[in-house]
């Protein structure tokens, strides 16, 4: 399932065309147009100002931090930053929308066209073009199950800033869409403009899906609203594309409509047709002035951008010689890459490769097994660095290091302390080893004869015997050297 | 014995400051006058008890020599300004029970300057009208009568409760809002000074929105000097209103020298319309003559897009209103009429809560914003709006101020035009352009009609020219020597001394 993904039905192959509208909550302490907190509140309507509740005579005042976050994100997706943008009202009645309109940017968004390159499983990459990014308000929440006949309204979320990121219909497979969202989420986390938390709804997507026969023009699309997991995005595309194909084959027509993905039933359901869609009567919000940015302002933000995932991956590969796959694994999680960088910096030789191996190998295995995140790891970056130094300085062998690592995990102890207390230091004294080698050879005289008459595979046996005597603490290379000399 | 009710604020203030009279006496006199004139239906909510308490506080400050600039000013507030703890209805059934937990910036500024609020005044519902007849509290009545005719006349609108109150002497100054003429037209019809400042001079925070890009608060007073005093203490930057301007507010009173020598006063030919009341036309010419006599130069100018201003206004204002009024849905405050579904609840609430004129404007506004109409109506109106502004910008290259009549006719009878929206909309013909252009304008009472009713002249200035505009208005006021017989007749319940 990569760049060529065709839906096959009785009438042949269909191409699936996907575009996304991602809604990402802007990381900000206060709402887009009011001073109310955006922190999760324990009780309903606890973070609501008179502006949020649309009391008469209340006016919105733009939170400049949210504009900065949008610009930052725009730069992250390689997009045009519009120095002139405006806020418009999208008018519709809904009980959890107190003003009767959502303030959004319809005519002049703050960010224009851009793109994001998405890595695919087969090693290729797909450029997804982005049409625009605009700021808008979130609505509140209607709660229908607290009272048999009444609906309760919670306005805590009402007015929280969202970035809506709209792609062009550039994706052709579920993998494309899923990887796009993964990549975007990662980017937003790097930028610090969204926490990427899909479970809590701070990142969600509307998925536009249509199908066509190869070479034909775009078909009618259905919009699947508010899909809030990457897995569901993939599933929704498969299910919806299939539904459309069957419908078309049966002589039906795909109608432009809004649908809902029901993950439990594995189906999409119609929410409302285009005819029922409200006329939003967009017009510029007269309570707000146009947003006018300067090149200077944008450049300042550009210059303060953190290192982004693609650049970091390249740096890991160039600086530490990491394979692309390993670098991707590290970069895909900001906490993991931070752990990696901290540990690597603490090693004497900046041994990124070894740190990466232990991190993505032994440590990941134990974290997974115990259901812990990297931030909860009992093995600190300093301890891992110390372990790598012990290996590199040949104080312990890689073999012993594996055991020491398990001890480090179990007791959160420094590897040096473990090595010392258990006497695990590698025997590097060649005199001691020579004595042991002589002892082994003397006790196995027949085998020595056999070896000398051509049974060279016995060499490993002698090495094993010596290693056994040292309790595994010998440097295998040194044993090899001594035995070869003695068996000449 | 002169009644203290006869004094304008600048005169009253010197008597308060010299401790010749007490703020309590002033407030008692005005309360008495308000009770005496209740039939005018100027006030919809009276706050006499808190006014008396505030008067005592004022007296304490006066006693200690810590008087505030507007100390003891008996002020009436249009019921469109949210007042903390005091019912604010906007003359609409939909807000019949609404008590704001907050205070508008403008009223808060005035109270902090020592003004004393006597109550909330009537208006057209949601400020939509020019007669104060569309109020859910019933019409207000103009204290002026035609010679030999006892019929009740309208006080203008939408700030008609405010104009009726100041004209009747039941307040010394009143607050209004002006979206298309709602301060200047009632001021003109009641023989008062009414000023709409530059858009952005006064904060809109806490003023119930009608049309956000046009609404602006301003004073209605007996004299230009009082308008200057009140305006100075209303205006100022407010971070809670993104459209309020951050610029220093001068001491407007200090500009009132009455010297207009060398000023160029423009007379726009487009305002000399067919059907313009000949008396008003004559007064307009007379006013120009006064300016000429005072050493100003009269210049004929053209504002070519004038004829489009009214239709443009009646697209933009309803468009913004249709959206601004969406919040009155019965969910959080105000009237709620139950229904079987949420849509039915909305429908029942809004049908019951909004009057005919408000409903009409919501429908017009919804229509002009709807998909397919937006480009033809709203967008085109915005383009023409820019042309209207350009007209003024060009004119102010040539002249300092523009002189026009404020209204095309004198006050009409209560009940007239109520069923003829177009006739009512024509009331705004001389005033809407300045709202579209965001410019300051002031109406000054300049004479009486043949039937003995007051007529107003309007002076329009460039953006933020309030200080010099007030001076020009002061010169006009001085030349016109307008004396309201209503103030002359005020009875001596509270003689001075």
Element (H, E) at B441: strand B441-448
> Do residues A114 and A156 share a domain?
yes
| pLDDT (mean) for B431-449 | 98
Contact residues on chain B for A30, CB-CB shorter than 8 A = none
pLDDT score recorded for residue A1: 39
Q: Chain B residue closest to A282 (CA)?
A: B369
Give the nearest partner residue to B82 out of A56, A93, A288, using CB atoms.
A56
What Å distances lie between residue A217 and A4, A173, A210, A251, A273, CA to CA? 18, 17, 11, 18, 22
Distance in angstroms (rounded) separating the CA atoms of residues B387 and B95? 37
Give the distance from residue B195's alpha carbon to the nearest chain A alpha carbon, in angstroms. 21
Q: Chain B residue closest to A152 (CA)?
A: B331
Cβ atoms of A256 and A244 closer than 8 Å = no
Q: Residues of chain B with pLDDT > 90: what percent?
A: 94
Residues 6 or more apart from B389 whose CB is under 8 A from it?
Answer: B436, B437, B438
> At B486, is the pLDDT very low, low, confident or very high (cuts 50, 70, 90)?
very high
Give the distance from residue B85's alpha carbon to the nearest chain A alpha carbon, in angstroms. 14
DSSP 8-state symbol, A132: E
Mark yes or no for CB contact A55/B346 under 8 Å: no
DSSP 8-state symbol, A81: B
Domain boundary among A249, A279, A301: A301
pLDDT score recorded for residue A36: 96
> Do residues A64 and A193 share a domain?
yes
Distance in angstroms (rounded) separating the CA atoms of residues A419 and A417? 6
Element (H, E) at A126: strand A125-137
Element (H, E) at B389: helix B380-398
Give the nearest partner residue to A100 out of B88, B212, B327, using CB atoms.
B327
Give the distance from residue B232's alpha carbon to the nearest chain A alpha carbon, in angstroms. 22
Cβ atoms of A271 and A257 closer than 8 Å = yes
Mark yes or no for CB contact B82/A287 under 8 Å: no
Mark yes or no for CB contact B326/A58 under 8 Å: no
Domain ranges of chain B: 4-262+469-488
What Å distances lie between residue A260 and A247, B360, B453, CA to CA? 17, 38, 67
A55 at B interface, C-beta within 8 A? yes
Which residue, B132, B209, B204, is CA-closest to B163?
A: B132
| pLDDT (mean) for A208-232 | 94
In 10 A of CB B371, how many CB atoms? 10
> At B82, is the pLDDT very low, low, confident or very high (cuts 50, 70, 90)?
very high
pLDDT tens-digit map of A295-324:
999 999 999 999 999 999 999 999 999 999
> Do residues A409 and A455 share a domain?
no
Stated pTM of the model: 0.91
Mark yes or no for CB contact A286/B212 under 8 Å: yes
Q: Note which residues in 87-116 of chain A have CB less than 8 A from chain B.
A: 89, 91, 93, 95, 98-101
* pLDDT, chain B, mean: 96
Give the nearest partner residue to B82 out of A57, A101, A289, using CB atoms.
A57
What Å distances lie between residue B374 and B219, B314, B366, CA to CA? 35, 14, 10
pLDDT tens-digit map of B237-249:
999 999 999 999 9
B205 at A interface, C-beta within 8 A? yes
Cβ atoms of A176 and A120 closer than 8 Å = yes
Element (H, E) at A460: helix A459-469
Residues 6 or more apart from B167 whose CB is under 8 A from it?
Answer: B142, B143, B144, B155, B190, B191, B192, B484, B486
> At A2, is the pLDDT very low, low, confident or very high (cuts 50, 70, 90)?
very low
Give the distance from residue B240's alpha carbon to the nearest chain A alpha carbon, in angstroms. 6
Q: Is residue A244 part of a domain?
A: yes
> Do residues A33 and A139 share a domain?
yes
C-alpha angle B178-B183-B185 in degrees, rounded to nearest 5? 115
Q: Chain B residue closest to A102 (CA)?
A: B323
Q: Note which residues in 58-87 of chain A have CB less than 8 A from chain B.
A: 58-62
Q: Residue B1 above 50 pLDDT?
A: no
- Write the CATH number for A443: 1.10.10.410
B213 at A interface, C-beta within 8 A? yes
B240 at A interface, C-beta within 8 A? yes
> At B492, is the pLDDT very low, low, confident or very high (cuts 50, 70, 90)?
low
> At A3, is the pLDDT very low, low, confident or very high (cuts 50, 70, 90)?
very low
Q: Residue B280 above 70 pLDDT?
A: yes
A148 at B interface, C-beta within 8 A? no
Give the distance from residue A92's alpha carbon to the nearest chain B alpha carbon, in angstroms. 8
> Do residues A270 and A342 share a domain?
no
Q: Residue A465 above 90 pLDDT?
A: no
Which CATH number, 2.40.10.10, 2.60.40.10, 3.30.505.10, 3.90.1300.10, labels domain B4-262+469-488?
A: 3.90.1300.10
Torsion of CA B67, B73, B74, B75, to 10 degrees: -120
Mark yes or no for CB contact B320/A286 under 8 Å: yes
Q: Which of B106, B318, B331, B354 to mutate to test the interface with A (most CBs of A within 10 A)?
A: B331
Distance in angstroms (rounded) separating the CA atoms of residues A132 and A198? 21
Could you report how far apart the first and last alpha carbons of chain A are, in Å?
Answer: 58
Give the distance from residue A69's alpha carbon to the nearest chain B alpha carbon, in angstroms. 20
Q: Residue B493 above 80 pLDDT?
A: no
Mark yes or no for CB contact B207/A57 under 8 Å: yes
A57 at B interface, C-beta within 8 A? yes
A250 at B interface, C-beta within 8 A? no
Q: Chain A residue closest to B379 (CA)?
A: A283
Q: Residues of chain B with pLDDT > 70: what percent?
A: 98
Q: Give the count of Cβ contacts less than 8 A between chain A and B.
A: 97
Q: Chain A residue closest to B324 (CA)?
A: A99
> At B497, is the pLDDT very low, low, confident or very high (cuts 50, 70, 90)?
very low
pLDDT tens-digit map of A153-166:
999 999 999 999 99
Contact residues on chain B for A44, CB-CB shorter than 8 A = none
> Do residues A341 and A375 share a domain?
yes
Contact residues on chain B for A63, CB-CB shorter than 8 A = none
Mark yes or no for CB contact B207/A95 under 8 Å: no
Count how many domains chain A has.
Answer: 3
Q: Residue B496 above 70 pLDDT?
A: no
Return the higher-pLDDT residue of B438 and A393.
Answer: B438
Give the nearest partner residue to B327 out of A62, A98, A286, using CB atoms.
A98
What Å distances lie between residue A48 and A33, B206, B240, CA to CA? 12, 17, 16
Domain boundary among A397, A422, A447: A422
Contact residues on chain A for B331, CB-CB shorter than 8 A = 95, 98, 153
Give me the DSSP letters along B413-435: BTTTTTT-HHHHHGGGTTTHHHH
> Do residues A131 and A79 share a domain?
yes
Distance in angstroms (rounded) separating the CA atoms of residues B118 and B53? 11
A153 at B interface, C-beta within 8 A? yes
Give the nearest partner residue to A59 out of B95, B242, B369, using CB atoms.
B242
Element (H, E) at A477: helix A476-486
Give the distance from residue A285's alpha carbon to the nearest chain B alpha carbon, in angstroms. 9
The distance of Cα B70 from the centroid of its chain, to the nearest Å, equals: 19
B88 at A interface, C-beta within 8 A? yes
Mark yes or no for CB contact A101/B323 under 8 Å: yes
> Do residues A377 and A443 share a domain?
no
Strands B264-268 and B401-405: what pairing?
parallel
Residues 6 or more apart from A371 whose CB is under 8 A from it?
Answer: none
A283 at B interface, C-beta within 8 A? yes
Give the distance from residue B88's alpha carbon to the nearest chain A alpha carbon, in angstroms. 10
Residue A68 phi, psi (nearest 5): -60, -40
pLDDT tens-digit map of A233-243:
999 999 999 99
C-alpha angle B345-B351-B353 in degrees, rounded to nearest 5? 95
pLDDT score recorded for residue B145: 97
ipTM: 0.96
pLDDT score recorded for residue A90: 98
Beta strands in A328-426, from DSSP E residues, in sequence order? none
> Do residues A251 and A361 share a domain?
no
Q: Is residue A1 part of a domain?
A: no
Longest CA span, chain B:
71
3-state SS string over B217-275?
Answer: EEEEECCHHHHHHHHHHHCCCCCCCCCCCCCCCCCHHHHCCCCCCCCEEEEEHHHCCCC
Q: Residue A9 above 60 pLDDT?
A: yes
Give me the DSSP letters along B341-379: SHHHHHHHHHHHHS-HHHHHHHHHHHHHHSTTTTIIIII
pLDDT tens-digit map of A16-54:
999 999 999 999 999 999 999 999 878 999 999 999 999
In 10 A of CB B185, how many CB atoms? 33
pLDDT score recorded for residue A488: 78
pLDDT score recorded for residue B2: 60
Q: Is residue A235 part of a domain?
A: yes
Cβ atoms of B49 and B121 closer than 8 Å = no
pLDDT tens-digit map of A252-268:
999 999 999 999 999 99
Write the burial class of residue B221 (CB in 10 Å: 0-12 exposed, 13-18 middle, 19+ buried). buried
Write the burial class of residue B39 (CB in 10 Å: 0-12 exposed, 13-18 middle, 19+ buried). exposed
> Do residues A242 and A387 share a domain?
no
Contact residues on chain A for B243, CB-CB shorter than 8 A = 286-289
Residues 6 or more apart from B481 whose CB is under 8 A from it?
Answer: none
Q: Which residues of B are catalytic?
A: 78, 158, 182
> Do residues A164 and A61 share a domain?
yes
Q: Residue B51 above 80 pLDDT?
A: yes
> Do residues A411 and A449 share a domain?
no
Cβ atoms of B220 and B186 closer than 8 Å = yes
Most confident of A32-46, B43-57, B419-433: B43-57
**Domain that includes residue A475, residue range:** 430-486
| pLDDT (mean) for A351-363 | 95
Contact residues on chain A for B79, CB-CB shorter than 8 A = none
| pLDDT (mean) for B334-352 | 96
Mark yes or no for CB contact A153/B100 under 8 Å: no
pLDDT score recorded for residue A4: 58
Q: Is residue A377 part of a domain?
A: yes
B320 at A interface, C-beta within 8 A? yes
Mark yes or no for CB contact A56/B211 under 8 Å: no
Residues 6 or more apart from A152 whose CB is under 8 A from it?
Answer: A44, A142, A143, A144, A146
Residue A171 phi, psi (nearest 5): -100, 145
Give the distance from residue A200's alpha carbon to the nearest chain B alpha carbon, in angstroms. 27
């Amino acid at each position: 399932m990569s760049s060529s993904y065709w839906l096959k039905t009785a009438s042949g192959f269909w191409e699936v065309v996907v575009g996304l509208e991602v809604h990402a909550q802007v990381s900000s302490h206060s709402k887009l147009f009011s001073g109310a907190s955006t922190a999760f509140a324990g009780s309903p309507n606890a973070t609501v100002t008179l502006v949020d509740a649309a009391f008469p005579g209340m006016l919105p005042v733009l939170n400049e931090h949210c504009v900065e976050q949008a610009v930052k994100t725009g730069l992250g997706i390689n997009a045009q930053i519009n120095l002139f943008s405006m806020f418009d009202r999208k008018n519709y009645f809904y009980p959890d929308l107190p003003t009767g309109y959502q303030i959004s940017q319809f005519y002049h968004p703050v960010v224009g066209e851009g793109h994001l390159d998405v890595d695919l499983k087969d090693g290729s990459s797909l450029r997804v073009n982005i049409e625009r990014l605009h700021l808008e308000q979130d609505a509140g929440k209607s709660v229908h199950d607290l009272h048999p006949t009444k609906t309760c309204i919670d306005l805590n979320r009402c007015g929280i800033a969202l970035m809506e990121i709209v792609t062009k219909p550039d994706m052709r497979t579920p993998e494309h869409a899923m990887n796009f969202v993964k990549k975007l989420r990662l980017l937003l986390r790097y930028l610090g403009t969204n926490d990427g938390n899909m479970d809590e709804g701070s990142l969600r997507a509307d998925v536009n899906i249509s199908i066509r026969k190869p070479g034909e023009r775009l078909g009618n699309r259905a919009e699947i609203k508010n899909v809030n997991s990457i897995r569901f995005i993939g599933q929704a595309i498969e299910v919806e594309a299939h539904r459309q194909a069957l419908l078309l084959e049966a002589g039906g027509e795909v109608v432009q409509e809004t649908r809902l993905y029901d993950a439990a039933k594995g189906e999409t359901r119609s929410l409302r047709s285009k005819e029922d869609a409200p006329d939003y009567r967009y017009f510029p919000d007269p309570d707000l002035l146009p947003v006018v940015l300067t090149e200077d302002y944008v450049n300042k933000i550009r210059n303060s951008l953190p290192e982004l995932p693609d650049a970091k991956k390249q740096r890991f590969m160039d600086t530490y010689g990491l394979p692309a796959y390993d670098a991707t694994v590290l970069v895909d999680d900001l906490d993991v890459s931070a752990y990696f960088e901290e540990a690597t910096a603490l090693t004497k030789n900046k041994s990124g490769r070894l740190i990466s191996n232990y991190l993505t190998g032994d440590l990941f295995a134990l974290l997974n097994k115990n259901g812990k995140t990297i931030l909860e790891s009992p093995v600190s970056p300093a301890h891992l660095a110390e372990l790598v130094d012990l290996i590199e300085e040949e104080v312990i062998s890689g073999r012993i290091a594996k055991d020491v690592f398990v001890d480090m995990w179990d007791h959160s102890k420094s590897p040096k302390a473990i090595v010392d207390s258990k006497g695990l230091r590698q025997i590097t004294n060649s005199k001691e080893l020579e004595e042991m080698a002589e002892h082994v050879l003397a006790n196995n005289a027949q085998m020595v004869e056999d070896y000398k008459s051509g049974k060279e595979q016995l060499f490993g046996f002698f090495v094993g015997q010596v290693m056994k005597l040292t309790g595994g603490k010998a440097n295998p290379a040194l044993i090899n050297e001594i035995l070869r000399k003695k068996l000449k | 014995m002169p009644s203290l009710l006869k004094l304008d604020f600048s005169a009253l203030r010197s008597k308060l400051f010299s401790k010749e009279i007490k703020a309590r006496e002033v407030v008692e006199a005005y309360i008495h006058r308000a009770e005496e004139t209740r039939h005018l239906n100027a006030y919809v909510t009276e706050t006499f008890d808190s006014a008396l308490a505030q008067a005592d506080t004022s007296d304490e400050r006066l006693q200690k020599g810590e008087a505030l600039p507007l100390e003891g000013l008996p002020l009436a507030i249009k019921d469109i300004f949210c007042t903390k703890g005091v019912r604010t209805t906007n003359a609409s059934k939909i807000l019949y029970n609404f008590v704001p937990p907050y205070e508008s910036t403008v009223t808060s500024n005035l109270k902090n300057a020592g003004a004393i609020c006597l109550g909330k005044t009537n208006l057209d519902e949601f400020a939509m009208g020019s007669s104060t007849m569309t109020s859910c509290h019933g019409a207000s009545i103009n204290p002026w009568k035609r010679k030999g005719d006892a019929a009740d006349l309208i006080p203008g609108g939408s700030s008609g409760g405010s104009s009726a109150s100041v004209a009747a002497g039941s307040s010394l100054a009143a607050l209004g809002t002006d979206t298309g003429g709602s301060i200047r037209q009632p001021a003109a019809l009641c023989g008062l000074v009414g000023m709409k400042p530059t858009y952005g001079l006064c904060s809109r925070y806490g003023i119930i929105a009608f049309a956000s890009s046009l609404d602006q608060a301003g004073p209605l007073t007996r004299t230009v000097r009082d308008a200057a005093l009140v305006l100075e203490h209303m205006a100022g930057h407010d971070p809670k209103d993104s459209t309020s301007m951050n610029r220093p507010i001068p001491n407007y009173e200090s500009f009132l020298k009455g010297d207009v020598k060398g000023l160029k006063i423009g007379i726009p030919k487009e305002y000399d319309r067919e059907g313009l009341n000949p008396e008003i036309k004559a007064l307009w010419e007379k006013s120009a003559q006064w300016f000429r006599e005072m050493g100003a130069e009269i210049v004929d100018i053209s504002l070519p897009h004038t004829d489009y201003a009214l239709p443009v206004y009646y697209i933009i204002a309803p468009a913004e209103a249709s959206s601004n009024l969406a919040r009155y849905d019965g969910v959080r405050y105000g009237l709620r009429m139950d229904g079987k579904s949420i849509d039915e609840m909305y429908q029942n609430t809004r049908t019951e809560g909004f009057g005919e004129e408000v409903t009409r404007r919501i429908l017009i506004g919804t229509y002009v914003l709807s998909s397919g109409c937006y480009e033809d109506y709203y967008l085109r109106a915005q383009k023409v709006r820019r042309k209207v502004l350009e007209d003024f910008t060009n004119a102010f290259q040539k002249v300092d101020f523009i002189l026009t009549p404020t209204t095309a006719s004198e006050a009409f009878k209560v009940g007239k035009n109520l069923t003829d929206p177009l006739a009512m909309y024509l009331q705004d013909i001389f005033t809407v352009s300045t709202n579209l252009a965001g410019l300051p304008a002031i109406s000054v009472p300049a004479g009486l009609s043949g039937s003995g009713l007051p007529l107003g002249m309007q002076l329009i200035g460039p953006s933020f020219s309030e200080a010099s505009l007030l001076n020009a208005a002061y010169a006009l006021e001085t030349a016109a020597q307008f004396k309201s017989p209503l103030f002359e007749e005020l009875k001596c319940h509270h003689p001075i001394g």
